[in-house]
A and B are shown apart, each in its own frame.
Chain A
């Protein structure tokens, strides 16, 4: 059955990426360290007054994850580019979108783990009071991460193979992520503040819609991007 083959390809690629990362670990540790460092710098920028820091916690957290995540996205193609493995990967038969899905899952795991660590550090540094509705907050983090990783993995397929990869990826990615960032930041902010106006639900619906639209669009467009 075709979908079973496709799923196996997706799993294989995801496993390959995660294994490469697990063996070296330098990448993951570096990205987490960067995320934490950025949080600290935000603390300097916004603090030390506890009120100000607590109010800005959601925004600072998502920006730290964004900036650290950008490193992860370019890296996810780098290993294959350096060894010429990407051409070999493309020689195997099968749909191209499975490559994208595999990388997406690997990056999601990677960024998800980083997100958890950065959030925990952020709760401490920014003196955040964990709300009763923390499962919803986890939902927001997950939905936001999916949107972030989908577009990041997609644009990195191009940026990592162009001349100015460090500049090009943020330049392409950040404007496209405005809806995700807004929705995730506002929903997080609302939930951390007790969500008195019940806004978080609406933002979460927008995040869902965005994720669905762009998961489809990136999967469809990936073939154009990887073959070129």
Chain B
């Protein structure tokens, strides 16, 4: 799977970012509750204001309506002259709806004269919105009291403005907060991923970044780090065991081997006992070479060795190996060819790559009968080079292919012509260290081993 460079955050990954989605959800929730709160406030406050206003309109209507009709015009005019209630207007009309007195010139259109307050839009009045109530007096005159509702409308407008100024930034802020938290988490996860990759590559000393202050992720990192501590200890102990085994086995064997060798020397060559001793020495060496190979594989697998990584010219080591082994092949009646279809510089451990290639070639030659052919080939592309070692031997049965990289596995009697059976395990260990893929297939007839020489090719389907 291709990974985006750190820092280049693709929208695709953000869409699936949990924190970001949470941020958006929180922003929506916050916005919704703010809106609801505002709506309630708006509704309650305007109801209260209208209520107060309506009551004062009705009070005026009651008050004036209760006066004797003959006093009414006078009261209305005097109220108009001195009263502070400029916001309230009163009009008295005769039964034919002609104005008698007051500062309302016309009975507002559509005003039901039922003594209750109604909203009125009147072009006659200086402000557009009024609350008005009217009733027919006992002498059939019509009394109308109206009061401007503009103040309330202004208050309501201010409330709406306030809400717009307050709520929208709040929603934007919480969205931005969510996005920031999401990006921060994304970046942290990226860092964790990078460290995890290093650990997978064998750097057991790497630790996940964990802060002491600790959210859940930090606590998780701390736990993983503690786990890694234990693992590192364990591997260290194992390595120690390996070294001790090496020392404990090799030291007595050194003395034993030397003693056998000197005894053989004293007996002189070509005596039956000396041959017996030479056989024993051979057995000691064989036993030891297995221990050596196992320890070596363990070394490659468990000890960080990327420090030795440097650019390696695959074509060069291919030709060198072919030049070294061609005489051996010819001696055994085989032909050995090397072809390079591409140039390739890979980052790796040259010594180990040579060792792996030598093992592949040695293995191929071992299992190819006289008259056969062993081919080394470098193909693919400079960025994705492929090393192929193929032979014309009997090949490996499909059911056995999965096991050939197992330690000590040998396909069958025909294929076991000596050797520790660890050659291909070593190839696999070297490939794992480099994160190169190894594939085993068949050339009809024969066997074909393929090394995909680019980092990460081990994740490709075999």
Partners in one complex: no
- Residue numbers of B with Cβ under 8 A of A are none
